[in-house]
Amino acid sequence: MSSGAEKRVLPGPTAPGAEPLLADSQAALDQELSELTAVLEASAPSNDCGSESIDSTDSEGTSSHSKDGAIEKKSRSATYCNDLIRKDMSDEEILSLIEHEVSEIISEHKALNDYEVVFLYDFNMINRTHASSIYQRLSSLRKNNILLILKSPGGEVEPAYLISKLCIRLKGNKFVIGVPSEAKSAATLLSLGADEIHMGAMSELGPIDPQINGYPALAFSSALEKIAQLSEKYPGASTMLAQYLIGSKLDVQALGHYDRITESSEQYALRLLQSKATTTDSSGKLARLASYFTNHYKDHSFVIDVEEAQKLLGTEVVFSESEIYQACHEIHKFLEACEIIMHLRGHKRRITVLGSKFMLRKF
């Protein structure tokens, strides 16, 4: 277990998805941007702010049933969120409204009917608390298919592996992950245990190489190899490079430890890939894939978009723009809009959902 100054964590990047948006998607995003701009302009201090109704039915209506009994989807635009959240509301009132709306979104999507929906939706790094929250949620349910809505910048390797194994152990027939935004580093490791990963244009996975004090564990041995190459290429500089190494107080034992940390991450990735293999991996394909995720990418912030994920894991595992993804994206879009409105209303909070528990955290 990583701890202290050597936590194997990585702050995730905020890089955009690499896949270009379709024209219809771009038009929709442009419309949302226009709405948010209008909200920004309308959110200057006003005298009637306190008169806004707490009843969300006064905004754009609740979900209703069509003639055949199906639940019709409600439009939850930025304007809707602006009407939903008042400046004078308490955190508890805001959370209650948000949780209710998310529950409605889930009920509006038939594709989610066969799943227990669980969240790991957090801007903080994955740690043991996340694993405990997921376990508490799953252990209280009967065995069923599991959908984990995953948004995370990464975190500690061990809890991420444990969460994936928990979902595998406690699932019914399927363990499915929806990635509406980023699931980087340790969150990508977690995803490797899923039977299906549902992604879209703005989804991103990332390399799972562990980090130590903000640097890739592989960087330390790579730096030593680079110095050795320079010494061989420029023999006249060998003495200077040797003095540099002596002055750097390089800990050779630490170098070996860092390499073993990387190897450990690769082993975790391989175990998760093997957990869903239906045949013996006599060709070593899974081992090469685990190594690829851990060692191939030169930048920890590298964006593994839906197309690259499909090339690596296959279209039978990674699904693009599926109905499950659309539901996860709608939830993410709603939560993002709520965070923007809360900021405009003076609530300096971010939304976290762990297991089934909704929380507002200061930032």
Q: Give tens-digit pLDDT for 280-298.
A: 776 789 999 999 999 888 8
DSSP state, 210? -
* Interacting residues of 265 by C-beta distance below 8 A, sequence separation 6+: 8, 157, 189, 208, 209, 210, 294
Tokens of 216: 């890739």
Cβ neighbors of 336 (< 8 A, separation 6 or more) are none
Strand partners, 183: 152
Domain shared by 149 and 284, yes or no: no
- Mean pLDDT score of the chain: 80
- Closest C-alpha to 298, from 219, 227, 182: 219
For residue 38, being part of any structural domain is answered with yes
DSSP H or E segment with residue 244: helix 238-247
Q: Structure tokens of 174?
A: 């399927």
Give yes or no: residues 59 and 183 share one domain. Answer: yes
300 contact partners, CB below 8 Å, separation of at least 6: 10, 185, 206, 207, 209, 211, 216
Task: Give the CATH number for residue 156.
Answer: 3.90.226
At residue 232, the 3 state secondary structure works out as helix
Domain tally for the chain? 2
My answer on whether 175 and 290 are in the same domain is no
Q: Is 356 a member of any domain?
A: yes
pLDDT in tens, 202-239: 999 999 987 666 666 665 566 666 666 766 777 776 77
Q: Is 270 found in the same domain as 173? A: no
Kindly report whether the global pTM for this prediction surpasses the value 0.85.
no
Note whether 112 and 25 are same-domain residues: yes
Res 27: pLDDT: 59
Is 321 part of a structural domain of the chain? yes
The token pair that represents 24 in the structure block? 């219809």
pLDDT value at position 16?
37
CA separation for the pair 81, 121 (Å, rounded): 19
pLDDT in tens, 131-183: 999 999 999 888 899 999 999 999 999 999 999 999 999 999 999 999 999 99
Q: Are residues 172 and 31 in the same domain?
A: yes
The reply to whether 5 falls in a domain is no
- 317: containing domain: 19-43+51-63+71-206+303-362
Pairing assessment for the beta strands 357-362 and 349-355 based on DSSP bridges: antiparallel
Report CA-CA distances (Å) from 220 to 159, 238, 249, 312.
24, 19, 13, 27
Helix (H, G, I), strand (E, B) or coil at 102: helix
Label residue 24 by pLDDT band (50, 70, 90): low
Among candidates 157, 128, 216, 180, which has minimal Cα distance to 306? Answer: 180
Q: Which two tokens stand for residue 86?
A: 């008042």
Supply the angle between the helices 157-170 and 252-274 in degrees, to the nearest 10. Answer: 20
